[in-house]
Amino acid sequence: MPAPTAPPVPDPGPGADPGIPADARYPQFTGAVRRDTAPPTGQAPVSPPASGPPERARRGVGRHLLAAIRELLIVGSIALLLSFVVKTFLAQAFYIPSESMETTLVTDDRVIVSKLTPGLVDLHRGDVVVFADPNNWLATQPSTDRGPVLNQVTRALTFVGLLPNTAEGHLIKRVIGLPGDKVVCCDAQGRLSVNGTALTEPYVKAGETPSDITFNITVPAGRIWVMGDNRGHSSDSRLHDDTGDGASGSVPVDLVVGRAFVLVWPLSRWDWLENYQGSYAAVPPAS
């Protein structure tokens, strides 16, 4: 009978070295305390760093807050840009500082002015327009002083269109004559006439005459003849026509900012600003 032999030892395969102690094979773990074994007597358990729900909640709130601030800044910047574009090219709010347009407009009213007129939209007789002071029509008045900080904030918000222009350096009047029109005051009934047609002017303030100043002018090319609705309290084309022929009293169309088309403040006075085309319907074109 053959002698018994030991069973063959299985090949452990490449990389295995069962003859080397674990401490020698993994020296980085030598002396380490395993979490599933108890620490030596008298030694406190080793705990992982605190990272519980309160800390995660605080980090979450911080991320949400930063995201909200970033979104607010983006939306605010877009709003300012849009407001500036609208104010520059489309429409702008203006504040009424005087009584010259009563009762259509009174002091402290706010109106929206369309900057599409003149330009894309033609001027018409009867339009209420805002224009830059053509030749020192306005007396020099000190600006309202709100302090250095508020002054700068007010200017900035007005510049981007978030506050109405206080009309410093601007006037608001009604167009009576277009370029080439012959405007005369007054006929036997005390009415203005344009190109020989007498006007009925329902917008003139009650108790006021169409004009206490007589004139007979032809509006020069590229200019308009303007008057306030409160005829006895309006410094308009009549009072500044030193030459008496309409050349100095008329306003260059290039100085017109736009046409006021709606009264927006106070809300109790909200109204569309009519240009009373019916009053001028029978007026023939300038010859």
List 56's β-bridge partners, or say none: none
| pLDDT tens digits along 205-249 | 999 999 999 999 999 999 999 999 999 999 999 999 999 999 999
Element containing residue 170 per DSSP (H, E): strand 170-177
- Two tokens, residue 265: 């403040």
**Residue 92 above 60 pLDDT?**
yes
Residue 67 pLDDT:
82
- Two tokens, residue 197: 């047609």
| Nearest C-alpha neighbor of 260 from the set 214, 228, 221 | 228
- Report residue 187's pLDDT band, with 50, 70 and 90 as the boundaries: very high
> Contact, 158 vs 164, CB < 8 A?
yes
| pLDDT tens digits along 107-130 | 999 999 999 999 999 999 999 999
Confirm whether 100 is a catalytic residue: yes
Out of 87, 173, 205, 211, pick the active-site residue.
Answer: 173
Residue 270 pLDDT:
95
CA 16, distance to chain mean position in Å, is 77
Q: What is the DSSP string of 50-91?
A: P--HHHHHHHHHHHHHHHHHHHHHHHHHHHHHHHHHIIIIIE
Question: What CATH fold (topology level) applies to the domain 90-280?
Answer: Umud Fragment, subunit A (2.10.109)
The model carries a pTM of 0.69
Residue 121 pLDDT:
94
SS (H, E, C) 135-154: CCCCCCCCCCCCCHHHHHHH
Phi, psi of 132 (to 5 degrees): -70, 145
